[in-house]
Amino acid sequence: RLRPLNRLQVILQHLNMSTHADSTAEVLLEKKGCAGMITLNRPKALNAINISMIRQIYPQIKTWEQDPETFLIIIKGTGGKAFSAGGDIRAITDAGKVGDRLAQDFFREEYTLNNAIGTCKKPYVALIDGITMGGGVGVSIHGHFRVATEKTLFAMPETAIGKYCLFPDVGGGYFLPRLSGRIGYYLALTGCRLKGRDVLKAGIATHFVDSEKIPALEKDLVALKSPSTENIADLLNSYHAKSKADQDKPFVLDEHMEKINSLFSGNSMEEIVKKLKQDGSAFANKQLETIKRMSPTSLKLALRQLREGASMSLQEVLMMEYRLSQACMKGHDFYEGVRAVLIDKDQAPRWKPATLEEVSDEFVDDCFKPLGNNDLKL
């Protein structure tokens, strides 16, 4: 359960003054025309999502969902660089090291918010203009509409050295295996980044609009009169149709799709690595180099997460991912990845275990086991 908001927040929300009261707030929540507007407002931190933001956004979505005067919900980021580059990993790391509750609460409440977006009864429009990674994907991907621009940079870098050692969470186990072919497995296991129109072509965004047109689109959305989902889709489609940027460029993964579908179809990480080695092409060798740098534990957890998630509901996936998050918090590699990337910045993590072969099936099974009373309840 999410903690109730303190009285001041409730009063501010009730009076709809949160934006005007404090433009330095980490998240701005306001009603504009027919829409509820969520603005992620930590530009210096690339709008990374922390627990206090989650605790403000979740009840507001629930309130707007019940409000007959709110017809859609829009979420966007400030600062021009990022929609949201992820979750507040530094805080979670510090908490996990000392056994603080934040390491449980953050994931529990973040996934509860992801589910609220995925089950939201009102059309939910995410303007993913800029960097959209990790936790930023969680507050956009599960909504009805995701609008990418030429500035969009999408990745699930959780297994990668470039971020930290975890797994592609926030419902990654749900949406990634549902992308065409093995694209989702490839993105999850390599941390590959997609830019601009490729985010649409991969099936992650629903629409593509030129970045400079986003303010006009937002204005037109909030000006709609009692719109239905169809009305909102029509407006997004009209902006999408007018956008010509990179229209004729082929999908960046097109030339590799045959290889991605065959090489990333292995039943185990060892099998995928074997296929990559046997293939021997420049593309396969590049993926092999990338995978070699990653946490073997993360890779094994992520592959199983996606294989199981492919046939689960979003709720079942988030419950599974919560179990995995708590296993990672108890392990070595999460903290080692953060040390190597964020603290010492030597980019040289020493993973334990150091090889895929040393990560036993029993260990992986344990990470997926129910947590009893501590399981995520949705």
Q: Write down the catalytic residue from 86, 135, 173, 196.
A: 135
| Residue 133 to residue 145: CA distance in whole angstroms | 17
Q: Are strands 82-84 and 153-155 parallel, antiparallel or unpaired?
A: unpaired
**Which residues lie across from 155 on neighbouring strands?**
133
Percentage of the residues of the chain whose pLDDT score is greater than 70:
92
Q: Write down the catalytic residue from 109, 110, 158, 218.
A: 158
Q: Write down the catalytic residue from 169, 198, 321, 333.
A: 169
**What value does the mean pLDDT take over residues 242-264?**
94
Whether 135 sits among the annotated catalytic residues: the reply is yes
Q: What is the DSSP string of 50-83?
A: -HHHHHHHHHHHHHHHH-TT--EEEEEESSSSEE
The string of pLDDT tens digits covering residues 183-194 is 999 999 999 999
At residue 297, the 3 state secondary structure works out as: helix
Residue with tokens 């933001």: 53
Q: In what order do the strands lie in the sheet with 131-133?
A: 82-84, 131-133, 153-155, 194-195
The string of pLDDT tens digits covering residues 119-140 is 999 999 999 999 999 999 999 9
191 Rama class: left (phi>0) / alpha (psi -120 to 50) / beta: left
- Burial class for 364, CB neighbours closer than 10 Å (0-12, 13-18, 19+): middle
Whether 87 sits among the annotated catalytic residues: the reply is yes
Q: Write down the catalytic residue from 36, 77, 86, 87.
A: 87
Looking at domain 26-374, its CATH architecture is Alpha-Beta Complex (3.90)
Band the pLDDT of 232: cuts 50, 70, 90: very high
Residue 148's Cβ-side half-sphere holds a number of Cα atoms within 13 Å equal to: 26
Whether 158 sits among the annotated catalytic residues: the reply is yes
User: By the 8 A CB rule, do 207 and 236 touch?
Assistant: yes
Whether 136 sits among the annotated catalytic residues: the reply is no
Q: Does pLDDT of 17 surpass 50?
A: no
Does this model's pTM top 0.75?
yes
267 Rama class: left (phi>0) / alpha (psi -120 to 50) / beta: alpha
Least confident of 88-97, 300-309, 319-328: 88-97
